[in-house]
Structure formats: C-alpha cells, structure tokens
Amino acid sequence: MFFLLALALVLLQLTGVWLRYLPFADTVSKRQRRNLQRWTAGWGIIAFLSYAAVMTVYDGDVLRFKLLVAFGWVPFFLISYYCIPRGFVQHLFVLGMQSLFAILLHTASGFVVGMVLPFDYGELIHMLTLNTCYLLLFLLLIPLERRLFCKLVPVQRFFQYRHLGLYIALMPLVVLFSYALPMLDSQLYHSMPERIGRLALPIFFFLIFRLVITTAHHMSEHTAEVNRNNLLAQQLYSLREYTRLTEEKRQTLRVLRHDMRHYNRLLGTLLDSGRIQEAKQLVDKYTAEIEHTTMQEFCANDLINATLSIYHYHLGNLEIPFQQKVNLPREMAGMDMDVAIVLSNLLENALHASMKQPVTDRTVKVSAQFDAGQYVLSVANRFREQLRIDSEGLPYSDEPGHGTGMISLRAFVRKYNAQCDLRQQDGWVTVMLYWHGEK
C-alpha cells in the first residue's frame, strides 16, 4: 500500500511538471525537452523510493504525507528551471499559478472522496483515494488546463522591469503560502467552511488575475501601436531632415554659382596686381565654401549615409564630438532600412545621454563593419550615471515618451537573430550588435 501511495505522489508531482512546462512549450527546443524528460524521469525514480521509505518509516503519517505533497515539487521545479532557461521570475509566476490550481484540485478531490468513502476505511486508504481522485480530475480537465496554461505567462513587457516582474511573480505565491500553510497539520479533513474557502479562493484569484492580464494585454497592444507610430514618425522626421540638409546645400551652391563671376573677376584683379597671397586666401575661402555644399559621405549605402549625415549635423550643432568608422556595402539584402532605424534610435539615445553630461565630457562614437558575412554595429557615448537595466540586459526609463529606441532594438534582435551586448565601463556606455547577413 505504501508503494502505491508513493507512486501516486510521484504521478501527482509529474502533473505539476507538465503544467509548468506548457507556458514555455512553444519556445523549448527538442534538446531542452529531452533533457527535461530525462532528468524528470531520473528524479521520479529517486522520489518514488524516497516517498515509499518515508511513508513506511512513519507508518503512513498524515503530516508526512502532506509535507511530501507540499514540498515534493522543489527538485522537479529546479530541474525545470535548469532545462528551460527562461527568466526566474517567469518560472516563479508559473509555479505559483500551478500550485494554486493544484490546491483547487486537491480541495475538489477532498469533497468527492469525503462524500463517497466512509471515514472508517482508515487514513491510508483515504490518502491513496485522494491522490487517485486528483489524478482522475487532472486527466478530465486536460483540455481546460492546456487552454489555461499555454497562455498563462503575461507578455514579456511585464517581466521586462525587475521590480514589476518580481511583484507579478510573487502575487500567486503569496496567496499560496498564506493559504496553504495552515493546512500543514495532522488532520486529513478540515471543516466544511474551511474547505469551501479553499475551493473559492483559487477560483476568485484565477478570475481576477485573468481579468488583469487581459486588460494588460490590451494595454500592451495599444502601447505597441503607439510605438509603431513613433517609429514611423521618426523615419519621416529623418527623411525630412535629410531633405532639408540637401536643400540647404543646394541653396548655398546656387549662391556660389551666382557669385562665381565676382570671385573670378576679383581673383584676376589680385593676380594682375601681383597680390599673390591675397589671391591664395581668396581661393582657399572659395574652396571651403564649395566643400561646405557637398554632402559628406560616411558610407556607400545611401540610407545609412543619410542617417549618419543627419546626426553628424545635429551633434555638430551641439558641439558634441562625433567619431565614426563605417565600412558597410552599398547593397545590404534589404536590411538597410532596419539598420538605419536601429542606428538612428541608438544615436538619438546617445545624443540625449550626452546632453546630460558636462560639456567637456561629451563624445559619441559609431563603428559599423561588414566582413565575411558578419555585421558588427557599435554605438558608444560618455555617460557616468548608473543605467537602469531590465531583465534582458537593456536600459529602460519610466519617463513618458522614452523606450521607443529599445523597442526598435529588440525588434531588430528578434528579426535578424542578432546578439546584443550592452556595457557600461569607465564612463562609457556601449551597445554592440552582431548578426549574419549577405551583401
């Protein structure tokens, strides 16, 4: 009998493993899934032997039974966390919600067994029947469980900021512990009001939390739409700025062409009168004015060059030194628009960050290289204040209107499977992107 009870307890823990796996199922690789299966099966055998030994030594004690149910999940949870490398707060949130669901099934099983099984059958029979009823209810509710747990984890935005993500993850766990700890006693069945309370609270919590998550999802969609509009507005602004700069150069060139006859006449007069030095100064001045009308070429690709030209102009007006080393091909297999957008956002962030530094401590550096099918983009700026970093290792700000640049960066990383590295060291903040592509 003790071995049957131990087997039922292991199967009960395995149901928890499966429920905690569902929210991450779409992103788990085959290798990770195999590792999870192997480690879970291995520990399941050890757990079976351990549970059987405990129940045998303590002669089926109710308190030991409850302790095995209440804390037997810990090794299985650690295995899941090891095999499914996701954010710890996400795993905590899933654990809390799965545990509340398990309490709901345990309470329902207690109602069923208490109604159909006489109390004089003994505690061991009742414990085994409770576990069996739990497993049957679990099997019957598999369609509901799939629907509930596959979409359980809130959008990544809620786990992006550490404090907010931890608060969300701890909500179900706080409810769980305040609710489950009084149950850890030697009493197999509690009073009817207590059981009704245990049945109602998880249901109410699920409904309220589901409402919150649904509302948050709609808010997230609205925010995403606003960010898309902001990105479009930024692209239009960049195009307008580049057009304005080009028109300024053209206007200056038209003025120079108009004044060319006066320059030539004055130059001839100076040469005829032997004033060679003044003639050289006039030629140098005219050459500088002509060079001012040309658009500086930073890159062979037109879109990237336009982006660099715009920020070279703005940074120059703000007297912020701008260093650049760019070696990108003219044709970039259609990715030049995305690179221009992410570069524009990174430079905009660098510009605003530089304005917060002392005038003598402002510099922006850009490096963009292509070699052997690999692109490397780096934007660095001086910034001595400590950045606030989210769970993905990217900076964030709670100020209204901020964050569009990082949203653009995340979208680029996802689209091109790029690697992003952010470093803050010796007063420099550097963002580096690595990705593969063809010309």
Residues 328, 306: contact at Cβ < 8 Å?
A: no
Q: Which residues pair with 428 in a beta bridge?
A: 382, 425
The residue type of 309 is: S
CA gap 127, 115 in Å, rounded: 14
How much is the pLDDT for 228?
A: 61
Residues in Cβ contact with 360 at an 8 Å cutoff, skipping those fewer than 6 apart: none
**Strand boundaries in 152-296, DSSP class E:** none
pTM over 0.85: no
Over range 399-408, report the average pLDDT: 61
Would the pLDDT of 79 be above 90?
yes
Angle between helices 2-21 and 62-71 (to 10 degrees): 20
Higher-pLDDT residue of 370, 254: 370
CA gap 241, 344 in Å, rounded: 12
CA gap 203, 104 in Å, rounded: 8
CA gap 13, 131 in Å, rounded: 11
For residue 330, CA distances in Å to 130, 238, 326 come to: 70, 20, 12
Q: DSSP characters for 259-301?
A: HHHHHHHHHHHHHHTT-HHHHHHHHHHHHHHHHHTSPP---SS
Output the CATH code of domain 297-439: 3.30.565.10
The per-residue pLDDT for range 288-319, each reduced to its tens digit, is 666 555 556 778 787 788 888 888 878 888 88
The per-residue pLDDT for range 324-352, each reduced to its tens digit, is 898 888 888 778 888 888 888 888 889 98
CA gap 75, 41 in Å, rounded: 12
Would the pLDDT of 184 be above 90?
no
How do beta strands 364-371 and 322-327 pair?
Answer: parallel
Residues 249, 290: contact at Cβ < 8 Å?
A: no
Residues 152, 75: contact at Cβ < 8 Å?
A: no
**By percentage, how much of the chain surpasses pLDDT 70?**
69
DSSP state of 389: B
Residue (of 379, 428, 427) closest to 406 by Cα position = 379
Instruction: Sort 77 into a burial class: Cβ within 10 Å, 0-12 / 13-18 / 19+.
Output: buried
Residues 418, 409: contact at Cβ < 8 Å?
A: no
Residues 322, 364: contact at Cβ < 8 Å?
A: yes
Number of H helices, E strands in the chain: 14, 5
Q: In a 3-state reduction of DSSP, which class is residue 322?
A: strand
Q: What is the mean pLDDT of the chain?
A: 78
Domain residue ranges in the chain: 2-190, 297-439
How much is the pLDDT for 150?
A: 84
- For 200, the token pair is 């109602």
Confidence of residue 106 (pLDDT cuts 50, 70, 90): confident
Sheet of 364-371, strand order: 322-327, 364-371, 374-382, 428-436, 419-425
Q: What angle do CA 290, 295, 300 make, to 5 degrees?
A: 135
